[in-house]
Amino acid sequence: MDDLKQLKALIEKTLKVRCSQYKEEYIKRRLLSRMRTTGSGNYEEYTRYLNNHPAEWELLRNALTINVTEFFRDAEVFEILRKELIPKFISEHNRIRIWCAGCSSGEEPYSLAMIISELTTRKSGISSTIYATDIDENILQKAKDGIYESKAVEKLNTAIIRRHFDELPDGRYRVKQHLKDMIHFRKHDLMSGIPAARYVDIVTCRNVTIYFTEGQKNDLARTIHSALNSGGFYVMGKTEYLGREVEGLFSHYNALQKILIKNDIK
Ligand SMILES: C[S@@+](CC[C@H](N)C(=O)[O-])C[C@H]1O[C@@H](n2cnc3c(N)ncnc32)[C@H](O)[C@@H]1O
């Protein structure tokens, strides 16, 4: 077995991360970035580094899962978006504007677009926009292309797949144009403040802050607060939390699902 194969086998055994779910190039890119940081010259040296520095395993796990996402990730959160949050703005303002921050390969904004499309099919005069941003240009291109392996859509019901995807001759699925038309994809670094997506009703910023320091997380909360309209919602990842310093900016709307509502600060 070559060094890379051995390392992948060790990763599967130790982290229980299935390397085969990723493209070989992706794994190599992520490993290279950790190898550079740890000063390892090749896969064998990095394997030795892992064996001698147990804390490196967690950093490697984070590096491998950095872009991981899925359609309707955390189904309960999307049910609240579908039944409570999005209908509220549609019925009260005939409008819905969402900023999906850290959108990765697009599954999150396309999930939101599917919900909006279904809630507005029989209504006219509703204006809807989703701004989807990420710092990683490669992943944004994948999001714009909107082409997914069949595994990515296997949990969606067939009616949804039929309505929103075209099956390609190679067995992959491409999201239909009506969903793409609802989304503006843009490169943006969340650490650089507010993007063009201002005055939105909902910000989803989920599973993004894994590498952020406490200070950066606080700045992010301030950025999201100022991007939101009065009464707007901030949907966090299930394991993310608001730092003490910025607690006053939001109240809990649904504490269990990590959905916050903006407090207006006088
Ligand atoms: C694990 S994915 C989460 C995707 C999706 N939000 C979800 O919950 O399924 C995290 C994404 O955040 C992006 N990201 C990390 N740091 C960022 C930053 N400073 N600005 C913008 N995006 C960032 C990464 O490129 C990655 O695509």
The number of domains in the chain is 2
CATH number of the domain enclosing 192: 3.40.50.150
Atom number of ligand 1 nearest to Cα 70: 9
CA distance 102 to 61: 18
Q: How far does residue 51's CA lie from ligand 1's centre (Å)? A: 29
Quote the domain boundaries for residue 28: 3-64
Tell me: the pLDDT tens digits for 181-226?
999 999 999 988 887 767 999 999 999 987 788 898 999 999 999 9
Identify the domain boundary among 11, 45, 64.
64
What DSSP string describes 114-152? HHHHHHHTT--S-EEEEEEEES-HHHHHHHHHTEE-HHH
User: Does residue 174 lie within any of the structural domains?
Assistant: yes
User: Does residue 69 lie within any of the structural domains?
Assistant: no
Domain match, 59 and 94 both: no
Domain match, 18 and 135 both: no
Domain match, 109 and 231 both: yes
Domain match, 224 and 99 both: yes
**Maximal CA-CA distance, the chain:** 64
Domain match, 137 and 17 both: no
Domain match, 24 and 103 both: no
- pLDDT, position 26: 81
pLDDT at 266 over 70: no
Domain match, 141 and 16 both: no
Domain match, 95 and 33 both: no
Q: Is 108 in the pocket of ligand 1 (CB under 6 A)?
A: yes
User: What global pTM score does this model have?
Assistant: 0.87
User: Does residue 226 lie within any of the structural domains?
Assistant: yes
Q: How far does residue 210's CA lie from ligand 1's centre (Å)? A: 9
218 close to 246: Cβ distance less than 8 angstroms = yes
Q: Determine the Cα angle at 147 with ends 142 and 153, to 5°.
A: 120
158: its two tokens: 């067939």
Tell me: the pLDDT tens digits for 62-94?
888 788 899 999 999 999 999 999 999 999 999
User: Does residue 184 lie within any of the structural domains?
Assistant: yes
Domain match, 97 and 206 both: yes
Domain match, 249 and 132 both: yes
Tell me: the pLDDT tens digits for 228-245?
999 999 999 998 999 999
Domain match, 192 and 258 both: yes
Q: Which residues, other chains included, contact 135 with Cβ-Cβ below 8 Å and sequence gap of 6+? A: 102, 187, 188, 189, 190
Domain match, 137 and 196 both: yes
Tell me: the pLDDT tens digits for 5-49?
999 999 989 988 777 767 788 889 889 999 999 999 999 999 999
User: Does residue 98 lie within any of the structural domains?
Assistant: yes
193: its two tokens: 């403040």
Identify the domain boundary among 19, 34, 64.
64
HSE, CB side, 13 Å, CA atoms: give it for residue 100. Answer: 25
User: Does residue 41 lie within any of the structural domains?
Assistant: yes
Q: At what angle do helices 3-15 and 24-38 cross, to 10 degrees?
A: 90
Q: How far does residue 133's CA lie from ligand 1's centre (Å)? A: 9
Q: Is 73 in the pocket of ligand 1 (CB under 6 A)?
A: yes
For residue 108, with 0-12 CB atoms within 10 Å meaning exposed, 13-18 middle and 19 or more buried, which class applies?
A: buried
Identify the domain boundary among 32, 64, 96.
64
Q: Is 105 in the pocket of ligand 1 (CB under 6 A)?
A: no
